[in-house]
Amino acid sequence: MNITGSTRVLGVFGHPVSHSLSPVMHNAAIRALGLDFVYVPFHVLPENLEKAVNGIRALDIAGVNVTIPHKERIIKFLDEVSENARRIGSVNTVINERGRLRGESTDGAGFLRSAEAVWGKIGGKVVILGAGGSAKAVAYALGDAGCEVVIANRTFDRAMELAQALKAAFGADKSRAVGLGGDDLEREIRGADLLVNTTSVGMHPHSDGIPISPELIGAGLKVYDLVYNPLETRLVREARANGAEAMTGLGMLIHQGAVSFEMWTGQNAPVEVMAKSVEHIMSGEL
Ligand code: NAP
């Protein structure tokens, strides 16, 4: 990569940020297409977020990704926020349009693109485990795709709140909430086409965790676990052992990055190159 006087800067705001896979993934894409961009990590403390956002304008940074813990709070410092980011209350991509900063969320599109790249068109009934930030992004993307979405969460009130919002957006028959244990969840999973885990259960270093009993997973179900560290979670392992098709969240990570990349550069993202760069790091790390 040749940095010159005309090189445009992209980056990621996070705290912590040193674990982020985005710099490797985006720089691999930039190199593959021979673009005059560079992507760098910015360690932004919560108390410095507003100044950092002003820095995007002052330094004419072309765009940034936004990660934990800034995805919600950054909204108030931006000039414009897309309808999709507004409804899920979270921004993971900022685009600098001649000094005007626009916030977008590419998580839902990244999830759907990655699932459809493997399984083809996603439809029917989906059970989502969890009701946090990623659950919202995934649930709205599935709602847009015409799916019926059942939310199951440990804290039932949060499941109810998300299901209510989905009903308001997509229709009363398009969503409902159930608890994380019990017969209702069992019944919903038996009639589902896809099960998506958006809880952090099973994530390194607690990789023996599993959000539901594996007995609930039958051979006809598709299982998507958003957790990507470890590369094969216990949920995915048990689902495959039961004859179900299952995937972890690495695909979503790559595709949400690809959508951001396309917004900044206007070029089709080299998804295969991005995937190889991330898989290379993950296999060395684990
Ligand atoms: P979040 O907003 O903090 O939500 C966490 C969710 O997990 C909540 O629904 C919470 O339930 C549930 N939860 C946490 N511990 C639990 C436990 N012990 N038992 C049952 N439920 C539990 O987090 P998030 O941003 O949505 O992220 C969740 C996971 O998705 C993380 O592992 C993250 O790495 C992964 N993720 C992956 C991608 C990707 O690109 N693949 C993107 C985003 C997130 P309560 O409401 O009851 O607390």
Contact 229, 209 (CB under 8 A): no
pLDDT at 284: 74
Total domains in the fold of the chain: 2
Q: How far does residue 15's CA lie from ligand 1's centre (Å)?
A: 17
Instruction: Using the mean position of ligand 1's atoms as its centre, give its distance from the Cα of residue 227 in Å.
Output: 9
| Residues 113, 238 within the same domain | yes
pLDDT greater than 70 at residue 285 = no
Q: Are 225 and 259 within one domain?
A: no
262 and 234 inside one domain: no
The string of pLDDT tens digits covering residues 59-91 is: 999 999 999 999 999 999 999 999 999 999 999
Look up the CATH number of the domain holding residue 101: 3.40.50.10860
User: Is the omega angle on the peptide bond into residue 41 within 30 degrees of 0, that is, cis?
Assistant: no
User: Across the chain, where does the E strand assignment appear?
Assistant: 8-14, 37-43, 63-66, 80-81, 93-97, 100-104, 125-129, 148-153, 175-179, 194-197, 222-225, 245-247
**143 and 230 assigned to the same domain:** yes
Read off the pLDDT of each residue in 33-40 and give the average, rounded to a whole number: 98
Range of the domain at 270: 8-105+253-285
Residues 86 and 141 in one domain: no
Q: How far apart are alpha carbons 62 and 71 in whole angstroms?
A: 18
Express each pLDDT in 160-212 by its tens digit.
Answer: 999 999 999 999 999 999 999 889 999 999 999 999 999 999 999 999 999 99
> Is residue 3 one of the residues assigned to a domain?
no
CATH number where 216 lies: 3.40.50.720
Q: Which residues line ligand 1 (CB under 6 A)?
A: 107, 130-135, 153-155, 158, 198-201, 203, 211, 226-228, 249, 252-253, 256
Q: Give tens-digit pLDDT for 95-110.
A: 999 999 999 999 999 9
Out of 71, 76, 121, 136, which one is annotated catalytic? 71
Examine the domain organization and report whether 19 and 98 are in the same domain: yes
How would DSSP label each residue in 232-269?
Answer: S-HHHHHHHHTT-EEE-THHHHHHHHHHHHHHHHSS--
Same domain, 133 and 224: yes
